Every structure is written in structure tokens, then in C-alpha cells.
Structure 1
Amino acid sequence: MLLTDGLAIVGGFIVVLLLLKLLWRCWCGFRQFVLSEIWQVDLRTYGQWAVVTGATSGIGKAYASELARRGLDVILISRSTDKLRMVAKEIKDQYGRKTRTIQVDFTEGQSIYPLIAKELQDLEIGILVNNVGMTYSDHFAYFLEAPDAEQKITQVVNCNMLSVPQMTRLVLPGMVERGTGLIINISSQVAVRPQPLLCLYSATKIFVTYFSQCLQAEYKSKGITVQCVVPFLVSTNMTTLPVNCMVKSAPGFAHDALNTVGYSTYTSGCLSHALQDPLNTLTGFLIILQSVALSVLVPDWFLMSSFLIRQFRKLNIWPHLHGS
């Protein structure tokens, strides 16, 4: 009887802890995706200028436009001069904000950053959005199958990985000096679990996640916020997906994701993406059940199996996950 009573007490204690944990996560999810729509952080308090990389299309363009709508002047960085001029004109005409453009190709590596540093000099950079990124292949592919593999590896690493710490290095000192600043790094759900046939892209995006979390731990005491945004499906030029209840438009995603600033430093960006995230139980029992089902139906050993890899490879399609 003593053993039975003891086990019952332990079991009851565990159930109470799980319920409390669930309630806390539900509250956090409510704050992040519902209350944030009502009480938004005034992003102008971070500084006058926002810098957005990969700013001429997709999520980058949407972030730039949304930041301008919320009262910030915007510095657009991308490789196409014509597209930069077009987006800058759209922002000026629609929101009346100042814009500056910097034309560089992030795949070129270290050589571009002195120019960026010169263009950013003496500006009060309050927000940095590290969005620029590229894919290794336009479909599921083995690592050695990409055309011009040596060149492509360098380009992907320069664009997806090197750009994040290098851009951070340029703007962070000024933020620390002023005691405020916001750095938003765009990762991807493709990095949440290992993704065979997307190995280089998956690996570069998990770098963004870990770098963001470590930087947040290091600099939060200095007044700096580092947010990692981990989207699911977003309709962009790369994905060419129709917008629906599961796939967000780029402007809709940027709006929702910016609402979460001040509420979360690691976010799916919007409620519909949080509901699809098997590692995010912020919204309660539904997501817990989803997570359990996913782990049972597609466990890691099966995800990494040669059989499944061969089946995906036969599809010869791009999986339509976010690529900045």
C-alpha cells in the first residue's frame, strides 16, 4: 500500500506539473499571437533606421515595407540595382519614409562588407533584419548532384551563414553604445530537424538559429533583442505557392512576425505556422497531439533512412520550404 500511495503521489505531481507547463505555454502563445495584435511594440524606439538584407522580394521586401509602415526609415540591401530602385520608390510613395539602397551580392563573401560598412557609417541603425538566403538546388537532391557544386557551396555558405554574423558585426557596436537595438534573423523550419536531400540548406539555417540564441543570451543585458524567426510555408517567388490557411503571404507573415517582437525571441512568426510546428506546443493540446503523432508516424530514424531519401529523390521537386 505504501508503494502504491507513493506512486500515486508521484504520478499526481507529474500530472500537475504537465498541466502547469501546458497552461504557461498556452498563455505564452496567447500573448505572442493574440495580444501582440492589440499591443504592439513601438519599433521606432529602437532607432531611426532599419536595415534589411535580401530586400527586393519575398519576405525581405515584406519586412522592409512593414517596417516603413510602422515609421522607420529603411536601408535596402540586395544585388539587383533595378529592383532596389523599384522597392525604394514603392516605400517612399506609399509610406513617405526615407530609403537608402546598397547594391551588393552576398554570395561574393568578405569583399562586400567594407562597402556596406561605409554606407552604414554614422547612421542610427535600430533594427537589422538578416533575411538574405539562397538554396543549393531547386529540387530534392543529393549533395553531389548540384551543378557547379564547388561554386554553389561557397555561394550558399556566404549568403546563408557568413552574411548573418558579418552584418551583425557592423551594426551591433552602435546598438550596444546606445543601449538598445533589435536584430531579426530569418531561419527556417527546414532546420528544426535534419533534412536529407536539403542537407546544406538545412545545416546553414540551423547555424542561424543557434547563432541567434547565443547572441540573445550574450547581449540581452545590454538592451539588445535578438529574435530568431522560423517560418513554415510562405508564398514567395521561390515557393510559388498559393496563399491559404496554412501558407501565408509574405506581407501577412511580416506583419504577424513583427507583432511578436517583445513577446518572443524564438518564433514561428504567425499562429498558423505555430500550429504546424511539431516542436512548438504553445497553443495547447492540439499541437501536443500533433507532435506525438508526427514522432510516431515519422520518427527521426525513418526520416533519415535510405528508403525515404530514395522516395523523396524520385519526386524530383522542391519541397517549398522558406528560403529567404
Structure 2
Amino acid sequence: MLFPSICFPLSQSFFNSLGEWAVVTGASEGIGRAYAFALAEKGMNVVIMSRTKITLDQLAKEIGDTTGQQVKVIVTDFMKDNIFSEIEDQIRSLDIGVLVNNVGMLPSFIPCKFLETAHLDQTITTVINCNVKTMAKMCKIILPGMESRGKGVILNISSGVASIPFPLYSLYAASKVFVERFSQGLQAEYKDKGIIIQTVAPFGVSTRMTAYQAPNVVTLSPEEFVKSSLLYLRAGDKTHGSVCHIVLGWLLQSIPLKVLYAEAMLCSLQDYVKKKAALKVSICATSNFEHIKNK
């Protein structure tokens, strides 16, 4: 795991050999954006999907200007029902070699008990639609083409918190367990067809879900994480994507659950996230004030 480029080498033409196009859901920011750029830099055209047209159009221009690859924008809301027939119509004619199921939602940034979740009935539906249903539906749309060509890669983005039953993030963590088990089952079914299906389960990455926490030894930038995770593509049906996150995963599973589930530990987690969120709000407010003052 320390030397993935040596232990799990990929040829320079590996991604091009899979197909002309890569599809990335939740591509407008964070990890999805980083995957879209990384795959374009490896010579693939990319389909980027998200809710925000302005952001997607800007990203498409940046990818096109930087890499020279084609970019197709599909604006869609994965929290809604009955969107997949339209998506299938728009990508039906494409030679798709890579699918990155990245889109996902966190029910509440501040960790809380299940019954304390705001708008709980609606949240249950949107989490299942976004984190569970979308992944299965996108696989259903794209996997048949990969099977017929005998090649392809599907990366399903899970989370490090799915490594154990995780109180205060119960709904989110459980949805990501589905991602892992579904992916592992599919890999067993389609490995002999020449298709790689892998769960990628990061811990800290500096995205909106982590309040854009400053990158450090364990919290990576999206670009750093994606660059590292692609090195582990042949490392098995699940990877944490980087050396530091692999170590974190081992440590998390080594701590007795009765310690992690202690009330004092759970309260400390809540307080830590609340302080991080308050600090981020304070920094943003100060930055906006300075911007207005200097205009």
C-alpha cells in the first residue's frame, strides 16, 4: 500500500483503452470536480452531472481550455425521482469507459441523533435517492455497455465512516455501507467480464461536507486525494485511496466500539464539528466584510 504505482501499475494508455468517455456524477465541486479534471487530463472526454448549470458550464470551459477534451454537461437533481430515463437518452450513443458515482449528500453537517434530524421524512427520501438509488441506477444504465465491450471501470464513492456503525451519522454511514456492499457484489459478478468495480472510501477531504477544512497530513485536497486514489485502482474492490486514510481506517477499526460509543466521545465529536463550523462562518463573514469595506 505504500508504493501503489509500483505494486498496481497502470499503463499510460490504460484509461484511453477503456473508452472515449468518462461520466462523473456530482461533478460541480469537490471530489467529483477533481475526478472530472483528472480523467480529462488522462485523455478522456467527460460527462459532468450536477444540479447547478452555471457551475457546470464554467467547469466544462475550464476542462476544455486546460486539456482540450470534449465536455458534455447534464443538469439534473439526483434527489428527485424519474430523472434517469432522460439521462440515459443523453448518453446512450457515447462509448463510456469510466463511471464515477460521486454524488452524495450528508443529512446534517452537525452530527446528531437520528430522530433529531431536521425534516426527517424528507431527509430519509433524499438521502436514499441521492446516495443509494442514483448509484444503482447509473450502474444499470452504463454497465451493459461495459459488459458488451468487455472492459470498463466503475468507481463508487463511499466514506471512511462506513467502516464501522457510526453514531450521529447513522443514516449517512448506512447509505455508504450500501455503496460498499453493492460495489463488492457487482465486482464479484462482473470481474470475469474485464470490468473493475471499486469502492473508494475517503476520510477527510477538504470539501463542502467538511466545511472546507484546511488540508493537512490527514485532510487532503480533492485534487491530492483523487490523484492518489487512482493509483490504487487495481488494489482490490475497496480502497481508502491514500496511505494516510488507509492508516486511519485501520486505527478506526482497532478501537473498541464501546470507547467510540461512549457518551463523552460522542459529545466531543459534536462539539468539535460545531466549533469547526462556527469558525468557518466567522472567517467567511470577516472575509465578506473586508471585501465590502475595500470596494
Q: TM-score, normalised by structure 2?
A: 0.87
Distance 1:276 1:251 in 2: 19
The Cα of 1:42 is off from its aligned counterpart by: 1.6
SS at match of 1:238: helix
Determine the structure 2 residue equivalent to 1:82.
54
Determine the structure 2 residue equivalent to 1:177.
148
Q: Which amino acid aligns with 2:241?
A: G
Select which of 252, 266, 269 maps to 2:241: 269
Residues 160-309 of structure 1 correspond to what in structure 2 (within 5 A)? 160-239=131-210, 240-278=212-250, 290=251, 295=254, 298-306=255-263, 308-309=265-266
- Describe the superposition over 1:9-46 as per-residue Cα deviations: whole angstroms up to 9, x where unpaired: xxxxxxxxxxxxxxxxxxxx245255557866721111
Q: Say whether the 8 Å CA contact 2:202–2:241 is kept in structure 1.
A: yes
SS at match of 1:60: helix
Q: Say whether the 8 Å CA contact 1:41–1:261 is kept in structure 2.
A: no
Determine the structure 2 residue equivalent to 1:44.
16
The Cα of 1:313 is off from its aligned counterpart by: 4.2
- Describe the superposition over 1:192-224 as per-residue Cα deviations: whole angstroms up to 9, x where unpaired: 011111000010001101111111000001111
The Cα of 1:106 is off from its aligned counterpart by: 0.4
Determine the structure 2 residue equivalent to 1:103.
75
Q: Say whether the 8 Å CA contact 1:139–1:318 is kept in structure 2.
A: no
Q: Say whether the 8 Å CA contact 1:140–1:319 is kept in structure 2.
A: no
Do residues 154 (structure 1) and 111 (structure 2) align? no
Question: Which range is displaced more, 262-271 or 168-177?
Answer: 262-271
- Describe the superposition over 1:87-128 as per-residue Cα deviations: whole angstroms up to 9, x where unpaired: 10110000000010111100003x110110001111111100
Q: Which runs of 5+ in 1 are unaligned?
A: 1-28, 279-289
The Cα of 1:316 is off from its aligned counterpart by: 5.9
SS at match of 1:277: helix
- Describe the superposition over 1:218-265 as per-residue Cα deviations: whole angstroms up to 9, x where unpaired: 000111110111111111133111112221110111111112223333
SS at match of 1:184: strand
Q: Say whether the 8 Å CA contact 1:32–1:264 is kept in structure 2.
A: no
Q: Say whether the 8 Å CA contact 1:51–1:128 is kept in structure 2.
A: yes
Q: TM-score, normalised by structure 1?
A: 0.80
SS at match of 1:158: helix
User: Runs (4+) of structure 1 moved beyond 4 Å?
Assistant: 33-41, 313-316
| Residues 124 and 319 of structure 1, relative CA distance in 2, 3 Å threshold | farther
SS at match of 2:174: helix
| Residues 273 and 315 of structure 1, relative CA distance in 2, 3 Å threshold | closer
Identity of aligned residues (%): 39
Determine the structure 1 residue equivalent to 2:29.
57
Count of aligned pairs: 276
| Residues 242 and 309 of structure 1, relative CA distance in 2, 3 Å threshold | closer
Distance 1:306 1:30 in 2: 36
Question: Which range is displaced more, 301-310 or 240-249?
Answer: 301-310
Select which of 63, 74, 90 maps to 1:119: 90
Distance 1:311 1:274 in 2: 24
Determine the structure 2 residue equivalent to 1:283.
none
| Residues 149 and 314 of structure 1, relative CA distance in 2, 3 Å threshold | same
SS at match of 2:196: strand
